[in-house]
Structure 1
């Protein structure tokens, strides 16, 4: 059984510091911006954007801003009963864990949603919060089981990702991405899927649909204009892609959707 004691969002706090102590709880940390320094059992660790840390119950921990300045991070403080939990290796090992997450965008939204839920007084809040924390623990456990991706593959995937973020409204073919990293089309697809968790084409559609959700809710553009703006010159095809990803048509999303829904469309 999980017990959430607190969820914090440290938003570039000047002179942030936590004193050295042996903690009687577990801590999940997701660093979003800047750098933070922790001292765990007399060893120093620096967390930066995209880094996840697990600090287990019984650790001696201290933390402070990195010399480079303040940081932005989420922290979840929780306890759990071993006998009431399924076997989760990193919880069972009770060792400090520090690695870089490759699903940062999605996990950021889940940490953020948990933080928001703990500050609301709505019905079923505890049930929802426990569900989000269980999901986060499961995703992290799965990430830790994956073989380490070699640096050159990370470099290729990040280069492709940044290109797609800048050009997702354009007509992009795999051969263009292959040329970008000077590798074959098949290798390009494989390395992107290995690191990012989905194909480049699916990632393009994801970016387009996220932007479509934003425009449907926050602009006066017609669905046809949004389709063209995002590179879908066949509006019926845009409808099919949108519904495949959101389970709603663009028309229904305009009527029933909201920004929170849009933030949780993709895993």
Structure 2
């Protein structure tokens, strides 16, 4: 049975450092932005955006900002028992690993939901959080046990995803992405979809609608203004796209939506 110690969100902490110690719990780390430097049983590990680390209990570990530059990450501290060992190979082996997750946005949203649920005193939160943690561990175990994507393809996809994150409000042609990785447009689309499960245009719409959700809940912008801000110059098209991805109209989401829903909307 999985049991929580804590879930932490390190949001660009200056001079972040955790001292060398032998830990008596497991740690899952998701690097959201920037880089972190870990020392694991005497070996230095640099983790960057999109990396997930599993640091098992009894490990001697320390951590700090990489090159003194702050980073953003989630850390989940938990324990497990023999029953979990039988189901999950990396728990049974009790070995450190690092992988570049193919489902970064979804894993990030699940960590966000986990962190939000553990703040305050919400009803049934322990039951919900255990389910989220089990899902995360199951997903990572599947990725680790069945690595179907080469490291180079993962790197290509990460380059493109970062470009889209930086420019999703703009009109982006597939030729622009192809130039980033020096490959043909067809190959570019194929690699992106293989790694993320989505075509680049679908990913752009997802980024835009996630931001739209945030603006609908936390700004006084009109729906038409949000549509224009996000690059949808036809407000009715924006509304159709919003409803296709969230199952709600922008107006309905503005009235009764919650940002904690976003992780499930874009699975």
Displacement of 1:9: 3.4
Q: What is the CA-CA distance between 1:243 and the residue it aligns to?
A: 1.1
User: What TM-score do the two structures reach when normalised by structure 2?
Assistant: 0.83
Q: Which runs of 5 or more residues in structure 2 are unaligned?
A: none
Deviations 1:194-237 (A, max 9, x none): 23332101101101211222232233333234334433344333
Contact 2:109 2:262 in 1 (8 A): no
- Aligned counterpart, 1:68: 67
State the match for 2:200 in structure 1. Answer: 200
Q: How far apart, in 1, do the equivalents of 2:230 and 2:31 lie?
A: 31
Is the 8 Å Cα contact of residues 54 and 96 (structure 2) preserved in structure 1? Answer: yes
- Tell me by how many angstroms 1:180 deviates: 5.1
Q: Which has the larger displacement, 204-213 or 153-162?
A: 153-162
Question: SS at 2:266's partner residue?
Answer: coil
Match of 2:103 in 1: 103
Alignment CA distance shift 1:53-1:161 (3 Å): closer
RMSD value over aligned CA atoms? 2.8
- CA offset at residue 81 of structure 1? 2.5
Aligned residue pairs total 263
| Contact 1:149–1:195 (CA under 8 A) maintained in structure 2 | no
Larger radius of gyration: 1
C-alpha distance in 2, partners of 1:73/1:163?
A: 20
Alignment check: 8 A CA contact 1:35 1:71 kept: yes
User: Aligned partners of 1:14 and 1:167: how far apart in 2?
Assistant: 30
1:120 Cα deviation after fit: 1.9
Structure 1 counterpart SS, 2:37: strand
2:214 matched residue in structure 1? 214
Instruction: Give the alignment of 1:155-166 within 5 angstroms.
Output: 155-166=155-166
Counterpart for residue 136 of structure 1 = 136
- TM-score, length of structure 1 as denominator length: 0.83
Q: Which runs of 5+ in 1 are unaligned?
A: none
Over 3 Å counting, the alpha-carbon distance change for 1:209 and 1:17 in structure 2 is closer
